[in-house]
Amino acid sequence: MRARTRRLYTFGIAALLLLAAAVLAFFALRENANLFYTPEILAEKGQPEDGKVVKVGGWVEPGSLAYSEDGATMIFTVIDNSPHTIRVSYTGIAPDLFREGQGVVATGQFGPEGAFTARQILAKHDENYQPRELKPLDVAG
Amino acid sequence: MIELGHFAAFLALAAALAQGMFGLMGQRRMAGLAAYAGFAVMILSFVTLVVAFARSDFSVALVANNSHTLKPMIYKIAGAWGNHEGSMALWCLVTLGFGAAGALWMRTGRDLFEARALGIQGLLAVGALAYLLFASSPFLRLDPAPFQGAGLNPLLQDPALSIHPPMLYLGYVGYSFVFALAAAGLMEARVDSVWAKEARRWSLAAFIPLTLGIALGSYWAYYELGWGGWWFWDPVENASLMPWLIGAALLHSVVVTEKREGFGAWSALLAVLAFLFSIMGAFLVRSGILTSVHAFAVDPERGMLLLFGLLTYGGFALVLFAMRAPKLSGGKPWMLLSREGALMANNIVLIVAALTVLLGTLFPLMAEAAGRTISVGEPYFNLTFTPMLALLLLILPVVQAWAWGKADLKNWSKWAIAGGALALVFLALGVGLWDISIGAALGLALGAWLVIGALWELKRRAITPGRIFRLPPRVWGMTLAHMGLGLFVIGAVVETTGRYETTVALAEGGSGTVAGWTLTLDQVRAIEGPNWYADRAQLTATRGSAKAIMTPMKRYYPAAQMPTTETAIHKTGTGDLYAALGEQRMVDGAPRWVFRVYYNPMIDLLYFGVILMALGGAFSLWPRRKA
């Protein structure tokens, strides 16, 4: 086989695979890149379509943390500088640095009543960490 | 004493400069001597740093910021590289180490080439040392010295994590020497069989520790973070996966250069890219431009310097490549359906896979630049990376039997029938018996296909069974690596589809179940360690007549004011029963302890597969017995 023909095939195969990967990546990014919601953004844009996995970020409202009857699920309210809030429930262990008043980022889905069911809660391992997406909370009074 | 280390590091810088100069002037012997000298003084420098950590000399700022007298000795020592500055000192040490090793073990018979390779390695060391000394010096004093240090991040106080960074760095920095070889080869426009023989050995020398380093990091995340999984597609993990994929492509491409003098330009390009992706990994981790669950020290200024280094090295190598690549010979002729063609396909798939990982890792950054906050997680990688990997594994057993130049295709129908039958068997078993998804069944078939294919190839090469143990070590290496890959795939598919997890909140005496196991909370006690105190739960796990005591802990490190999760893992023989202790919760006025409990089937098989891959690499590195 002549080197030229071979090179043509090589580039053809590479281009085909790259194209396939690009198409896959395009759909994967459109479907699976998690959009980020704070209470303010949620109020502005409205709830995402049912079943779409998104991220919710904000600050855990002091005094809002409660548990389900069997103790496995924690339920708390996320706030930001707006008057809006999001109710988040999460079945699992709270991250080590989860506290009321601290920033959290939760990944999960919104339910019909606007309640957010998280499948993962992130709070960094470092006490100095602050989620990049969050603006500091105004300290009231 | 630390001043001695500081001074020695400057000597190392001078030696590296000399190595670079002599090397580029073509003085092989002098460059080699400078490489030995540089490595020797850098060892001295690094040892003084380690000694400062071992002796808790808090007048050294780095020790004060990262160590504590109450830490066990092993973590005092490991703490020397458990921080940014110390890890950069390690980076310098390994760079100089590879230069010295190269000076000692290169055997091409080409003095000018070897001198230039050492010279370029010397210049890479100059860059690393300058960054160490002028932008992240670990040798600075504190005055007055504090009485106590701030402690090492408790998450890093772990046996696997004490050797994970050195392993990873041996891999990352190992590619610096492969880079140097590529640049030296391009300089004389001779990337041929002799070059490839040398480059292959050093690629393996980097690939083996990189593989083990990634596995160690993954295993650490598995049992220390308490999330029950082994890979999270975290940017830092991706940063180590990309050089690995490119390194794997290089290992396959360089064989064509060695045996057929083909793919020379491509091999040189991959060699350059492997190191550039390693630096990019360091840049992504250290600069803090990516959101990662690995909270490392973050410093944009240092990030800019690393980016500058990346662009300088990359620009130099790519310009050199563009100038010399057209002059490289194309090697012996080959048909598309041949071993060359197969290895080319392997390379294309691996590179495209690396590109999908790169896109997924950098996409959040691009989105942020466009004013949108987006994160990319597991579903993206499952949809893009996994099909690429599957394609690679599908063709592997068939094409590894193909001959150089032109494949004999008369067996293709047998392969198709065998593969089809295997897929059907697993589909029937998977859907009918095991009740798993079609995708999972096909994944298992793919893993089995690889293992059987690897053994089949070994048998084919041996011709008669008696000769199996007289095959060259690199044939064994290939077999082990491909088998390891197959076992890894089986382990990964079983673990991912067969994992059970549940959260229970137990009062003392209460119990919960997971995967047929019943876990009863006997008690929770407060205990104390050398530099921590903890709540330790005692769970009794029973399933039929099987019984195990598990003691997950929640540790608190006062020095760092930080809790960690110490999971309890019970090996059941077919998988891990895994329990992590969470916080205490008051439910209806009574205290309960919350547990995250997993059953992770066959997770050991997954790690065994990876170790087998590294072992295969070691076999391939073993020189052929002289007949």
Handedness of CA B454, B456, B461, B462 (dihedral sign): positive
Of A29, A69, A132, which is closest to B380 when you measure between CB atoms?
A29
User: Residue A130 pLDDT more than 60?
Assistant: no
C-alpha torsion B81→B83→B84→B85, nearest 10: -60
Give the number of residues written for chain A.
Answer: 141
Please report residues of A whose CB lies closer than 8 A to that of B563: 96-97
The domain segmentation of chain B, as residue ranges, is 1-157, 159-299+309-400, 401-498, 503-605
Q: Is residue A129 part of a domain?
A: no
Rounded to whole angstroms, the Cα distance separating B152 from B77 reads 11
Neighbours of B107 (CB within 10 A): 11
Catalogue the E-assigned strands of B356-478. 374-376
Q: Does the N-terminal peptide bond of residue B144 adopt cis geometry, omega within 30 degrees of 0? A: yes
Q: How far is CA B148 from the centre of its chain?
A: 34
Which is more confidently placed, A2 or B230? B230
Q: Is B366 exposed, middle or buried (0-12, 13-18, 19+ CB in 10 A)?
A: exposed
Claim to verify: residue A10 and residue A53 sit in the same structural domain:
no
pLDDT at A136 (0 to 100): 59
Region A121-141 average pLDDT: 54
Structure-block tokens of residue B548: 């195990």
Do A50 and A18 share a structural domain?
Answer: no
CB contact under 8 A, A18 and B155: no
Residues 6 or more apart whose CB falls under 8 angstroms from that of B248 comprise B207, B350
Backbone angles phi, psi at B205, to 5 degrees: -60, -25
Classified as helix, coil or strand, B616 is helix
**Domain CATH for A69:** 2.40.50.140
Are residues A100 and A69 both part of a single domain? yes
For the cut 50, the answer to whether the pLDDT of residue A126 exceeds it is no
Sign of the torsion formed by the C-alpha atoms of B486, B491, B492 and B493: positive
Pair A96, A41 in one domain: yes
Largest CA distance in chain B: 80
Q: Is the domain of A89 the same as that of A105?
A: yes
Query: What is the tens place of the pLDDT at every residue in A77-86?
Result: 999 888 999 9
Res A125: pLDDT: 43
For B566, phi and psi rounded to 5 degrees?
-105, 105
A122 and A104 in contact (C-beta within 8 Å)? Answer: yes
Residue A137 lies in a domain: no
Give me the residues of A, 50-89, that contact B with CB < 8 A.
53, 55, 67, 69-74
Is the residue at A141 inside a domain?
A: no
- Residue A136 included in any domain: no
Residue with tokens 């396939």: A20
Q: CA-to-CA distance for B534 and B556, rounded, in angstroms?
A: 6
Q: Is A117 left (phi over 0), alpha (psi -120 to 50) or beta?
A: beta
Pick left, alpha or beta for residue B238 (phi over 0 → left; psi -120 to 50 → alpha; otherwise beta). Answer: alpha
HEC profile of B228-292: CCCCCCCHHHHHHHHHHHHHHHHHHHHHHHHHHCCCHHHHHHHHHHHHHHHHHHHHHHHHCCCCC
Q: Which residues of chain B have pLDDT under 50?
A: 295-296, 627
Confidence band, pLDDT 50/70/90 cuts, at residue A129: very low
- pLDDT, tens digit, 9 for 90 and up, residues B119-167: 999 999 999 999 999 988 999 998 888 888 887 778 778 887 788 889 9
Containing structural domain, residue A101: 34-122
Return the amino acid letter for B483. M
d(CA B330, CA A3): 9
Query: For position B301, what pLDDT does the model report?
Result: 76
| Residue among A27, A65, A96, A102 with most chain B CBs within 10 A, to mutate | A96
**Shortest distance, CA A140 to any CA of chain B (angstroms):** 27
Contacts of A93 in chain B (CB under 8 A): 226, 503, 565, 580-583, 594-596
Backbone dihedral region for residue B313 (phi beyond 0: left; psi -120 to 50: alpha; all else: beta):
alpha
Backbone φ and ψ for B439, nearest 5 degrees, come out as: -60, -45
Identify whether residues A40 and A50 lie together within a single domain. Answer: yes
Residues of A in contact with B384 (CB under 8 A): 21, 24-25, 28
A9 and A75 belong to one structural domain: no
Q: Which of A18, A25, A71 sits opposite B592 (nearest CB)?
A: A71
pLDDT of residue A28: 83
Please report the pLDDT score of residue B467 as a whole number.
Answer: 85
A81 CA to centre of own chain: 19
Give the chain A residue whose CA is nearest to the CA of B592.
A71
Tell me the C-alpha to C-alpha distance, in Å, between residue B418 and each of B329, B422, B425, B456.
39, 6, 11, 12
DSSP code, position B141? B
Cα separations in angstroms, B302 against B64, B80, B292, B350, B356 = 21, 19, 18, 31, 27
Question: CB–CB of B581/B505 below 8 Å?
Answer: no
Neighbouring-strand partners of residue B380? none
- A130-136: long-range pairs with CB below 8 Å, 24+: A130/A103, A131/A57, A131/A103, A131/A104, A131/A105, A131/B291, A132/B291, A133/A36, A133/A38, A133/A55, A133/A57, A133/A105, A133/B291, A133/B373, A134/A38, A134/A57, A134/A58, A134/A59, A134/A80, A134/A103, A134/A105, A135/A80, A135/A81
Query: Residue B229's closest CA among B512, B625, B603?
Result: B603
In contact, B45 and B12? CB cutoff 8 Å: yes
**Amino acid B254: pLDDT:** 95
Rounded to the nearest 10 degrees, how much is the dihedral formed by the CA atoms of B440, B446, B450, B453? 140
Are B291 and A131 an interchain contact pair (Cβ–Cβ within 8 Å)? yes
> Both A64 and A118 in a single domain?
yes
Q: Tell me the residue length of chain B.
A: 627
User: Residue A21 is nearest to which of B355, B565, B581, comparing CB atoms?
Assistant: B355
Same domain, A73 and A53: yes
Structure tokens at B530: 């050398």
Nearest to A115 by CA among A47, A52, A61: A47
B348: chain A residues, CB-CB within 8 Å: 10, 13-14, 17
Q: Show the CA angle centred on residue B279, arms to residues B277 and B281, nearest 5°.
A: 70
Considering only CB atoms, which chain A residues are within 8 Å of B380?
A: 25, 28-29, 32-33
Q: B116 and B318 in contact (C-beta within 8 Å)?
A: no
d(CA B583, CA B563): 11
Interface contact B344-A10, CB threshold 8 A:
yes
Task: Collapse the DSSP code of B541 into the 3-class scheme (helix H, G, I; strand E, B; otherwise coil) and give the result.
Answer: strand
Structure tokens at B81: 């590289």
Answer yes or no: is A131 within a domain.
Answer: no
Phi/psi of residue B229, each to 5°?
Answer: -110, 175
pLDDT at B524 (0 to 100) = 94
Q: Are A66 and A17 found together in one domain?
A: no
* Mean pLDDT calculated for residue range A123-139: 52
The total of structural domains in chain A comes to: 2
B142 and B37 in contact (C-beta within 8 Å)? no
**B342, closest residue in chain A (CA to CA):** A10
Looking at the DSSP bridge assignments, the partners of residue B535 are B526, B554
CATH architecture of B1-157: Up-down Bundle (1.20)
- Kindly state whether residues A85 and A102 are assigned to the same domain: yes
Q: How far is A42 from chain B (nearest CA, A)?
A: 14
- Residue B467 in contact with residue B496, Cβ under 8 Å? no
- Alpha-helical (H) ranges within B25-158 are 28-54, 61-66, 73-78, 84-105, 111-135
Asked if the Cβ–Cβ distance from A33 to B580 is below 8 Å, we say no
DSSP state of A49: P
Per-residue model confidence (pLDDT) at position B98: 98
Residue B591 three-state SS: strand
Average pLDDT for chain A: 81
Q: Is there a contact between A32 and B380 if contact means CB atoms under 8 Å apart?
A: yes
B201-217 pLDDT, tens digit each: 999 999 999 999 999 98
Contacts for B329 with CB less than 8 Å, ≥ 6 apart: B192, B261, B264
Instruction: Please indicate, yes or no, whether residues A52 and A108 belong to a single structural domain of this protein.
Output: yes
| Strand pairing report for A73-79 and A54-60 | antiparallel
ipTM over 0.85 threshold: no
Most distant CA atoms of chain A, gap in Å: 80
Tokens standing for A51?
């079943």
